[in-house]
Structures are given as structure tokens and as C-alpha cells.
Structure 1
Amino acid sequence: MKASLPLILSGIAFTMILPFTGGKNGTPLINRTTRNLKEKITLKIDTPDQDRFVKVPLVQGQFFEPTEMSILPNLDILISQRRGEIMIYKNKTKKLTEAGKLDVYFKTNVPDVNAEEGLLGMAADPNFAVNQYIYLFYSPIKTSVNRLSRFKLINDKISLASEKVVLEFYSQREICCHTGGSIAFGPDGLLYVSTGDNSTPFDVPKQQYVNKGYAPLDNRPGLQQYDARRSSGNTNDLRGKILRIKVNADATYSIPEGNLFPKDDPKSKPEIYVMGNRNPYRISVDQKTGFLYWGEVGPDANNDDESRGPKGYDEINQARKAGNFGWPLFVGNNYPYKAYDYTTGTSGAAFDPAAGINNSPNNTGRTQLPPAQSAYIWYPYGTSKEFPEVGSGGRTAMAGPVYWPKPGAAAYPSYYNGKLIIYEWMRGWVKAVTMAPNGDYISMEPFLENISLAAPVDMELGPDGKLYILEYGKGWFSKNADAGMVRIDYLAGNRPPAIKQLVIEKTSGLLPYKLTAKVEASDPDDGDVLTYIWNLGKGVKKTTNRPELEHTFTKAGEYAVSVEVVDNLKASSKSTVIPVFAGNEHPKVDILLSGNKTFYFPGKPVSYQVLVSDKGATVNKSRLYVSNTYTEGFDMAGAQLGHQQVAQTLVGKSIMMKSDCSNCHKISTKSIGPAFTQVSTKYQKNTKAVAYLTNKVIKGSSGVWGEVPMPGHATMKESDVKQIAEWIMSLSAKASSKPSLPAAGNIIPPASINKNKPVLAIKATYSDLGAPGLKPLTSSNVVNLKSNVIEANDIKNVSQFGKRDYNGGQALIFPQNDGQIVLKNIDLSSVNAFQFGIVKMGGDVNYTIEIRLDDKDGKILASSTSNNMTIPIELVTDKKMHVVYFLVKNSGEKIKDRPLLSNITALSK
């Protein structure tokens, strides 16, 4: 991509040719080649510091399914809620109240089928300061239509009597899904409204040939809701479109020039600006160029299918003029679906993007469709080859606004001028897209990357030039505690303190319970004096000038502890909240091993004993749950080996909360997916539940808990997913009723170790009975043992060894002269030799190998030559953890074909 720009430098005018390529953090690197100067100037543009963007909460925990908002000229904000409420946030009082309520259809009468209709979108008239008009797009309860109406806001109340119906169209109900519903005005005052395809993406029950997440093209009689050609692909239907109209003073409308179809064609609707949409849930119009942008929520298929067509993609789209964007015949980069006979299961030819044909009997419009336009940005559940910056996981694409500073209100650095802001409801990220002057895509980069968002559902630029974000919250069809509305400020000067973490030494204890808390915080501007305001729950606060606090609780209860760090200019940041428990103490769980604490050996028993102590209570062994599994995840530095005491099994929960799982699942209540407690209860009798759930999360699943599919998470580490699964399985009361293993015993590893799952994890979890007014507390401990074969891939601390691919993995190349390998945190108990997996590339090569203890000059345990694959060592019986040095020395001969080291195996007597 190239753009030509004039440049004035030192009074000399010349032209630059700018090849845009991805630089640091996705920032374009611009090579400017002059015509008049024989030199090349390379300019690197760095993004502004992301920690200068701060999230200013305006409303938290008061919304019930917010959908869209409109920022008024006085910075009051109107918010629509799907169930019909119009809320108003008053800028002066900082209070949220109800401005009105529409009687809307928002819930089906069909069991286990969710409606997406309701109050879907809103926008204030561009001339609101004069006329007080508000536009609402909603589903009236008494008639099966979606309706765009104009209302008047009088004294902060929506006047229902002032309603003027602008347009409406039929929408089939009692099915699911896709409504669109976003409203936006262009710079010319034209109104845009998006509509969904009103089609179900799910499979027809009890049929052999079904959609399976591909395009819904089922045209069999009585199955109209399974055919999106009747709506999105129909030129004579307003569903699955983005409409563009000019609203007149009396709330009638006229058709502007430049829409997709003429005004007098009986086979098309002149209101259509863009057709071929599935669910254009959020739209935005560039207020300078007039280009239309939207996020298109795509279909669910996980993989391409030769007989059906492409896997599912979400899209960010740009329309510089009216056009057809393909659905349901095409998706993504105009990837074509194939005609499909749902009676016989046979496939026809792939559809042609240049000449799409809609021959469905449900079509009431033109058979020949306008040429399909490719998506601007597109990405699947998995990693995108074209746009890897978007990551992977669940998908709900959102788009807009394009940032332009308001006159006299440049809220953000000019670096962002003209950049398109895109965001993800499911994945939680925000990106800034750099575009060429003609609108072509150049690059994207993280934006607001240090700010956590709970399912952003709308973003708008206010009259103050600042970005306002509406957060739906992580949970579908529910009132979410994390739903909210925030403003994004940019701190050009002083920045608030940065909080790394709040650490509480012990989160529970019997009365009197002494709390010791420390916070790791720093001031990004250096030198500011910090003050710490500790919130100890239930209205108790303490202030210190040190980042630590001691406090004694004398009354039993659960307390929410947090800290606010304030600099000397009153800029502040708040930590996360950590619950602590006074009057009950977490039980202590220990796992004792009688043998080696680092390795397990094939076929040799691992003897363990679990000890539980619970202050102030008698231990009930029936509440102990012991398990063992084999998994990946091995760090030769020892970070993942040995004991890992984990209160409340929070490791798996913490990983889950950072993933997109929390958007679709709640712990104990149903969302779009089942509650985790339901999953835990369902699989308690399955001895392979953890492995089963791990596989489901990684590969995806459908049909187990309903029609909504769960996307795969192929890029997540299996070890992380396994910890999520273990946490889920610990939630059910049945999880601790019968231990899967006794409190003491032997585990016999298989004779052949799976090198892809080399870690034996022994886990013990115990839940106490709680205390008066306090819930039961759970503690876990995990002991990880590495198999005795240490693959070259897992050896990180090496010197002078090379690396190369070998036998599906990696091997270390012996040094030309001297080198060393260091293994840390090694228990040598019962280890009597090390065996070296040496691959000789030529003849025998006599390296000297010394094995030393704790230091490169430490005690020699053995010395031999590399021709001896197995080297006996002097026994070490102190049962301590050691550092083992393997020193490799060459006598000086020039070695042409240096041998490879594929692994090191610890042998037990």
C-alpha cells in the first residue's frame, strides 16, 4: 500500500512515497524516499503510552442488558436496555434513573429458546439541541415487527405520546436469532439502521441433513426460518440489511440518492443501502468520509467442509457506497458456500461472488443479486492468518467509531486521528485500525490494551471528544454485576499510580484474625508521594503512607479487602478486591512423598500420604478428594514442579476468568451456556471427566447443553485448560464426597511414559464445614513429578550447545569446545546414573562429561566420556533439592560431525 504526501522540510518541498509495513506493536513503519534529496529518511512512529489511557467508571452494576447509548450535547447519556427501559445518566449529578419504558417483546414462549428482540438501538437526532428527538429501534409486544420510531425527550423523560413510527417490517418471532438494531447518523444527516437475518443458525430437529453451523439455506416447506435467502439474500425484504433513509420533519422519510436499488422496482426495497448481512450488531459512520462501518457476527462452523463451504468468520466491514456483502451465499473474503439439498444431502456448485443467484422458493425479490463485496477484516474461531492480531476464541465483532477530534476538544493524541476503532464483545480487546486516505486497510494495533472491559457492547464519541464505552457484562440475558458505562480519559500530564498486585499473607483465620496486606504499586511519573487508602469491608477504612497494613478483625464475617493508591496530585488507582474470612481458617493440606521429589520412574510405585489439619475443627476425611493425572507443562527451572498449595482452587478459576469462558458461563447460574456447577454435577461419575472436558474446551462442542455451540480454543495450553476443568470438577458437592484415591497409597506409573504428558500431578482438595455465618473453605495442594526422561526441548539452561530439529522435537548440538547443561531443583534420591540420548553423526567422539553438584566447580558425582551412554553417579542421600551441572569438554580435536543430545534420563537403582 502506498500513499503520496507532500512534506516541507527545512524550507524544501518534496514528495514522499510511503510503503506501510507493520512495525512495533503493529505500528506502521514509514520509509520516506525523497525525490529532490539523495537520501532516505526512515521515520518510526511509536504509539502513545497505553497506560496514559484510563477507565473512568460512570455507572457500575445497575444495568440490565444494556444495548446502545447516545451522548447528548450536555454530556447526559441515554442508554437503551433490551427489556424496554430507557435510562438516563445525568452528567451533573452522576446519577442513573429511568427516562421511560417501552412494552417490548424480549422473551419467547418456547422452553430453552432465547429471544434477541426487544429495545435494540437508539440515537439522538443530529439537531437534538433544538428538536429533542430520540430514535428508538424496538420490537413492540403486540405485533410481530421491528419498528423504528421517533420520540421526544421532555424534562429527562421519553414522551411515549410523542411517538412517530418512521418504519417497521415483519420479523418472525419465537425462533432465534439475529436482530441487528444499531442506529447511526451520517455527516449528511442521513439515518442508518441495521437489521439481522431473523434466521436460526441451529439444526432442524430430527433431520438427517442439517446446517451444522454453515449457511442456513434450507428451503424445504415449513422451514422458512432456516433459510436466510428469504431475508438477507432477498432484495425485497428489509431483514439482513443496513437501511439508509432521510427522516423528514413530520417523521416520514424519503430515499436518498445512492442506495442499492431504485425507488420504483417491485422486486427490491429502496431503503436498502447494504444487503447480505447476518447480524450487523453495531454500526458507525465516519463523520468525515461518510463511510459506513459495522461488525458482522458470523456463523459457527469450526472447519471448512468440502461439501458445504467455509468455516465461520466474523467480519469488520466498510461500505464506501451501497453494496451486497454476500450472506448467506458468501462469508469472509467472499468465501463461497455451496448449494445444498437438505433432502438428499448432496452438494451443488459453489456460488459465484460476481453473479450470486437466489433461487430459493422463499425469495420474493430478484433472482440475480448484485456482486458480493469482500469483508474488510475477517477472522475465524482459531488464529487468523490474515489478521493474527485479533487472537482466537469466541467471536462477536463490533466496529466504530472512527476517531476525529472535536473542534477545540482534542481528547486524544493526534496519532489516532482518522483511525477506525474496532472491538470484540467476546474477546474483550479494542484495536485501532490505520487506513490509507482512500480507506484501504493498512494495519491494526492494540488500543486501550491495559484496560479490562466486560463485554463491550457499544462505543460512542461524545461531544467532549472522548470515547464512552457501554459494557454488557459477562453473562447473557441477565443482570450482570460487571455491566457498566465508562469514559476513557487520556492523561497527557500526571498519571495515576500503577498497581501490580495486592498480596494478603493469609486470607483467613480464627478470631482474632490478624490481616497482613501489602500492595505492589509504583508511580509512572516517578517521585510522587503515594498514600494508601485501605478498604477493609463493611465501611471500615484505614490510611497509611506505607504500602502495607496490619489489621485485626474481632468479628466473624467475610470482608472485601482492597486498596486505593493516591499520588500527591490526587490521581488514584484501585486494586482488585480480595475476600478474607474472619472466624474460620482455610484448612491445610500437605502431600508427603517417601521417594524422589523431582522424578517418577516407569513402573515404580510413587508412595504418597495426604495430611489435613483444620484449626478449630475435626478433620472429616470424607470431605477429602485425591486424584492423579498425567499432563504437559514442565519447566526445568522448577517453577511448575513440587508442591503448589492453592487455596480455593483459584488457579483454574483465575485462568478461566482471563479467557472468554466467563462470557458464556457463570459459576452457579445458567447463561448462554450451562453453569459450571451443572457441568461439575453432570460428570461426577465420569472417572475421565477432566480429560473429557479438556478435550471439549480445546476442540469445541455442540448439542450437549443446547443449540448454542461452544467454540474451540485450540491456542490455549492444554495444561491451562486442564486446570480449568479440574476447578470445574471441584465445584460440585459430590466432588469431595468420595475421594478417587485413598488418603495414602501408591501410584504406579505406566511402563511407557507419554512424552507429551510427562508430568504426574497428585492433587488433594479438602473442604471444611464452614463456621457460623461463613461458607465452607476449601484448600488444595498439588505435587508435580517429572518423568525421569528430560527431553532436549525442556532443557533451557544451556551454554555453547546449538539446537536443531530432530525426530519431531529438538535436539542439542554438542559444542565444538566446552559447554554446560544446568538442571535446577533436582532431588537425586535413589538416582544412581544418568543416561544420555546421544545421536552420533559420524564416528566416535570422545567428549569428557563431568557431573557436578550445586556448582560448576562443585563436588564431582561422576566423570566419563561421551562414548559411555550411561554414567553411574555417586549416590546423594540428603533428600535436598540440588543444582546439577553437566560439564562437557572437548580435548581440542576439530569435530566435523558433532553429535546430538536428544534427552537425559535419570536412572533409579
Structure 2
Amino acid sequence: MTAGAGASATVTYSNSALTLALSDIGPVFTDPTFVIAPPGDERLFVLERRGVIRIVRDGAVLTQPWLDISANVFTGGEGGLLSMAFDPNFAANGYFYLYYTDLARNIVVERYTRSPTPNLADPTSALTILRVAHPQFTNHFGGLVAFGPDGMLYAGLGDGGGAGDPSGNAQDPNALLGKLLRVDVRSATAGLPYTIAPTNPYVNQPLRRPEIWAAGLRNPWRYAFDGEQLYIADVGQDAREEVNLAALSQGGLNYGWDIMEGSACHEAATCDRTGLTLPVFEYEQGAAKVNGCAITGGYVYRGAALPELAGRYFYSDYCRGFVKSFFATGAGIVEQRDWGLNTAGQVVSFGRDGAGELYLVSASGRIFRLVRGSTG
């Protein structure tokens, strides 16, 4: 596809037709994994799996990368530089956080600082926040670091890989793998990279890691905050893909893996669901993965360009490349839509720019913006 090209689909809202399209932003990247920008910033930061962060400004890629940590990054299997988060106070402190796999296959969350030179980070400013061993397999690294509206830093870690969580990490409260973690990095130092918020569910509980916010996750590749709501898209194994939704105040939830896969017992006719939180939305992969194989979680739309979409959660699937959305209400999931936009190919990730508009990251190396389509 060329810049500005795309496909479109029409859905009717309140007697008016809304058409969406995918607009190719133009440049082609090397194995991109994520896009992001600080609020209000006109630049778009594109992460490449190899460990390079590029800046797009006015439709062009700046010659020099924002940061290159490729010498430290393991890219085998599902590893690599997987996501980035800007500090809520980035404008003042210049901090941003990376989630990647290091050469020993550990999961690493690291803080860096921008440099005095515009459009460049300081490569010498690394401060390790978390380093979690992931020794056996090269899949299920999780992949997202993000700040919640509570100012805490969250990280979604996979269960350690393999099939069926062979080490039992997701249900082990003393293991960080297979969990969503929540830490306070506002006063981070080399000696004390994070503290534990007193509202974390396992504070001062023996044999339970206090960093854990939620458990029972297989591979939470992407999750999203929307006000006081938290959406977690957890990649399934052989049968079901799921989205979990809870109030941000609900710490300590167990989403069931590997007792459950979605709302079904995993490899068992019956199972004990006591204390488990089931997904609010799921879909079956289907025979020959006809419906998909790995959910790519997105965001709830809150941009200004498409106000009709406010509150709709967008997602895709790596194997099918569709663009779908739903609206979560207190009564359940409504307005399930397939927008018919499959031209992005394999969708690796969603992202947002500084104005809150949505982007799709394609395995082809292209980045697409979700825009209003032609009505003619």
C-alpha cells in the first residue's frame, strides 16, 4: 500500500453512516512493535523489535534514532523491544520506560531520560526498574509497560512460555510471571528502583509477591486503561481469545489461566471456578484458526477526530488482521462491529498519538492511522 491508501467500511450510528479507513502514514519500518507519543506531542515514536526507536515528524522519519539499545536486546522467538511508556511528568522530568528482553532472555523494564539535544534520548541514563527471569522458553514474554491513571507503573508479564504453563507460574502468587504488576517509580533510584503502593493486594502477605496486581494471565501482550477501567486482552492457547475488564480499584483478581482458557476449563471437563474472574468478552479460534489465533488488544477510543466512536474498545488478531470494536456497558458487551478493514495484514499492536488517535502496527513494517473514510 502507499501513503494515504486504505480500505473502508460503513456502520450506521443513529441514522448516520460512519465510515472508517486505514491511512498509511508512509514510512516502512523494520519489524515494528509499538507506537506512542506523549500527550500533546506532534511526534510519533515507533519501536522496532531489534531495539531501535524512531521518530516520525510531519510524515518523515528523522535520520537519527531517538534511542538504540539493540546491543542489549534478545530478539529470538517473541522477544525484543516490545513497548514504551512516557512518564506522566515527562514534560518536566524527561523520563520514559522501556519493556524488552535482554540477552539472557530476562524481561526488563528500564527507565531512560531524554537528552538536552532535541529528538534524542540519553543512552547512558538507563535505570533498571525490573528484571524478571524467563529462562526456559522464547514465547510468552508479555510485552506492555504503561502508566495507569493512578500514577503507578504497570507491566504485563507472560507465564514463562511453553504450552499449558508447565511451571505453573500464572497461579503461583510467589512468581511474577503470568501476572500484571503494579509498582511506584516516582522516587526511583538505583538502590530502590520502585516501592509498593499500600493499595496493592498482597502487601505484607507471606509467600505472595507484593508487586502483583492481577494473576492468572497467559500472555497479556496488550492491555489498556480507560478512566477507572482496565481492559486486559489475554492471548489464548488453542481455543479461546479473551478480554478481561475490571475497575482499576479491583486489585487481586485472578483471571483463571491455566485452570481456565477464557470461560472454559482448560484441558478438563470440569474445574473449580471459585475465586476466578471470567472474561467479559471472548471468541473461539475455530477450526483451522478461522476466527484467529492471538488477540491483539487495543484501546478505547477517546480521540477528537471520530467522536462517534467514543467509548468503543478496538482490537484485532494477529492471524486475521481484522479491525473490530465493542462497547462495554454495565449490562454487558454491545455494538460488536467488524469494520471490514483487513488491509493492514498481521496486526502486531495498536498505538496512540499525542492527540489520542488510534494507529495499527503491521508486521509488514507499515503503520496505519484509523481515520474517517470517504462518504462518496
* Normalised TM-score (structure 1): 0.37
Q: How does 1:548-587 map to 2 (within 5 A)?
A: none
* CA–CA separation in structure 1 for the residues paired with 2:144 and 2:184: 16
Residue in structure 1 matching 2:108, options 147, 154, 161: 147
Question: Is 2:361 the counterpart of 1:467?
Answer: no
Q: Distance in 2 between matches of 1:121 and 1:462?
A: 14
Residue of structure 2 aligned with 1:259, choices 191, 200, 206: 200
Which of 330, 334, 343 is the aligned partner of 1:442? 334
**Matched residue SS, 2:91:** helix
Q: Which secondary structure does the structure 2 equivalent of 1:254 belong to?
A: coil
Residues 558-605 of structure 1: CA deviation (Å, up to 9, x unaligned): xxxxxxxxxxxxxxxxxxxxxxxxxxxxxxxxxxxxxxxxxxxxxxxx
C-alpha offsets along residues 332-372 of structure 1, whole Å, 9 cap, x if unaligned?
1142544xxxxxxxxxx843110xxxxxxxxxxxxxxxx11
SS at 2:184 equivalent: strand
- Counterpart of 2:286 in structure 1 is 382
2:7 matched to which residue of 1? none
CA contact (8 A) 1:106 1:116 kept: no
Q: Is the 8 A contact 1:326 1:334 kept in 2?
A: no
Provide, for residues 663-718 of structure 1, a one-character-per-residue CA deviation record: whole Å limited to 9, x for no partner: xxxxxxxxxxxxxxxxxxxxxxxxxxxxxxxxxxxxxxxxxxxxxxxxxxxxxxxx
Deviation, 1:92, is 6.8
Contact 2:321–2:342 (CA<8 Å) still a contact in 1? Answer: no
2:300 to 386, 399, 402: 402
- Residue matched to 1:500: none
Superposition deviation, residue 403 in structure 1: 1.5
- Give the aligned residue type for 1:435: A
What displacement does 1:57 show? 2.0
Alignment pair present for 1:130 and 2:92: yes
One-letter amino acid of the structure 2 residue matched with residue 254 of structure 1: T
Q: Does 1:191 align with 2:153?
A: yes
Instruction: Name the amino acid aligned to 1:191.
Output: L
Alignment match of 2:130 (pick from 167, 170, 177): 167
| CA displacement 1:506-539 (0-9 Å, x = unmatched) | xxxxxxxxxxxxxxxxxx54xxxxxxxxxxxxxx
Cross-structure match for 1:106: 74
Alignment of 1:706-855 (within 5 A): none
Q: Secondary structure at the match of 1:98?
A: coil
Structure 1 residue 180: deviation in Å?
0.6
Aligned: 1:49 with 2:11 = no
Deviation at 1:435, TM superposition (A): 1.9
Q: Distance in 2 between matches of 1:457 and 1:156?
A: 25
SS in 1 for 2:231: strand
CA–CA separation in structure 1 for the residues paired with 2:342 and 2:285: 23
Counting matched residue pairs gives 356
Contact 1:315 1:375 in 2 (8 A): yes
Q: 2:220 aligns with which of 280, 289, 292?
A: 280
Cα deviation, residue 96, structure 1: 6.0
> In the alignment, which residue of structure 1 is the partner of 2:313?
420
2:39 maps to 1:77: no
Which digits, 9 at most, give the CA deviation of each residue in 1:759-803, with x for residues without a partner? xxxxxxxxxxxxxxxxxxxxxxxxxxxxxxxxxxxxxxxxxxxxx
Residue 318 of structure 1 pairs with residue 245 of structure 2: yes
Maintained 8 Å contact 2:35/2:352? no
What secondary structure does 2:344 align onto? coil
Take 1:96 and 1:56, find their aligned partners in 2: how far apart are those partners? 23
1:266 offset after TM fit, Å?
2.8
Shift of 1:259: 3.0
Rate the CA distance shift 1:353–1:75 in 2: closer, same or farther, 3 A.
same
Does residue 268 of the first structure (1) align with residue 188 of the second (2)?
Answer: no
What is the CA–CA distance in structure 1 between the aligned matches of 2:18 and 2:63, rounded to whole Å? 32
Structure 1 pair 450/117, CA: closer, same or farther in 2 (3 Å)?
A: closer
Please tell me whether residue 293 in structure 1 is matched to residue 223 in structure 2: no
Note if 1:485 corresponds to 2:367. Answer: yes
Q: Which has the higher helix share?
A: 1
Where does structure 2 lack aligned partners over 5 or more consecutive residues?
1-9
Cα deviation for residue 97 of structure 1 reads 4.3
What is the alpha-carbon distance in structure 1 between the residues aligned to residue 361 and residue 341 of structure 2? 17
Contact 1:336 1:352 in 2 (8 A): no
- Tell me the residue number matched to 1:66: 32
Give the equivalent residue in structure 2 for 1:180.
Answer: 142
Q: For the structure 1 residues 412 and 451, does the alpha-carbon distance in structure 2 shift closer, same or farther, using more than 3 Å as the test?
A: farther
In structure 1, distance between residues paired with 2:290 and 2:211: 36
What's the counterpart of residue 328 of structure 1?
Answer: 258
What secondary structure is seen at the aligned counterpart in 2 of 1:315?
Answer: strand
Structure 2: how far apart are the matches of 1:96 and 1:296? 36
Q: Quote the Cα distance in structure 2 between the aligned partners of 1:179 and 1:442.
A: 31
Distance 1:450 1:328, change over 3 A: closer
Contact 2:55–2:61 (CA under 8 A) maintained in structure 1: no
* Contact 2:200-2:213 within 8 A present in 1 as well: yes
Residue 317 of structure 1, CA deviation: 1.7
Pair 1:270–1:451, CA change in 2 (3 A): same
Q: Partner letter of residue 445 of structure 1?
A: R
Q: CA deviation at 1:93?
A: 4.6
Greater RCO, CA 8 A, separation 6+: 2
Question: What pairs up with 1:890-909 in 2 under 5 angstroms?
Answer: none
Q: Which residue of 2 aligns with 1:852?
A: none
Is the alpha carbon distance of 1:237 and 1:96 closer, same or farther for their aligned partners in structure 2, counting shifts above 3 Å?
Answer: farther
2:14 is aligned with what amino acid? I
Corresponding residue number in structure 2 for 1:870: none
* Contact 2:54 2:62 (8 Å CA) reproduced: no
Equivalent-residue separation in structure 2 for 1:467 and 1:490 (angstroms) = 12
Deviation at 1:425, TM superposition (A): 2.0
> Contact 1:334–1:375 at 8 Å: present in 2 too?
no
Distance across 2 between alignment mates of 1:232 and 1:196 = 8
The CA RMSD over aligned residues, in Å, is 2.5
Q: In structure 2, do the counterparts of structure 1 residues 228 and 489 end up closer, same or farther at CA, with 3 Å as the change threshold? A: same
Distance 1:294 1:60 in 2: 30
Among residues 333, 338, 351, which one is paired with 2:271 in the alignment? 351
**Could you give the per-residue CA deviations for residues 851-873 of structure 1, whole angstroms, max 9, x where no partner exists?**
xxxxxxxxxxxxxxxxxxxxxxx
Q: Percent identity?
A: 27
Post-superposition Cα deviations, 1:838-860, rounded to whole Å, max 9, x if no partner, equal xxxxxxxxxxxxxxxxxxxxxxx
Q: Which residue of 2 aligns with 1:606?
A: none
- For the Cα contact (< 8 Å) 2:109–2:145, is it kept in 1? no
User: Closer, same or farther in 2 for the Cα pair 1:117/1:461, shift >3 Å?
Assistant: closer
- Give 1:783's aligned residue: none
CA apart distance, 1:466: 1.9
Distance (whole Å) between structure 2 residues aligned to residue 392 and residue 93 of structure 1:
37
Match of 1:553 in 2: none
- Summarize deviations over 1:705-754 as a string: whole Å, max 9, x none: xxxxxxxxxxxxxxxxxxxxxxxxxxxxxxxxxxxxxxxxxxxxxxxxxx
Tell me the TM-score normalised to structure 2 length: 0.86
Amino acid at match of 1:45: S
Query: Residue 221 of structure 2: SS of its match in structure 1?
Result: strand
3-state DSSP of counterpart to 2:129: strand
Relative to structure 1, the CA distance from residue 46 to residue 149 in structure 2 (aligned partners, 3 Å threshold; closer, same or farther) is farther
Question: What corresponds to 1:570 in structure 2?
Answer: none
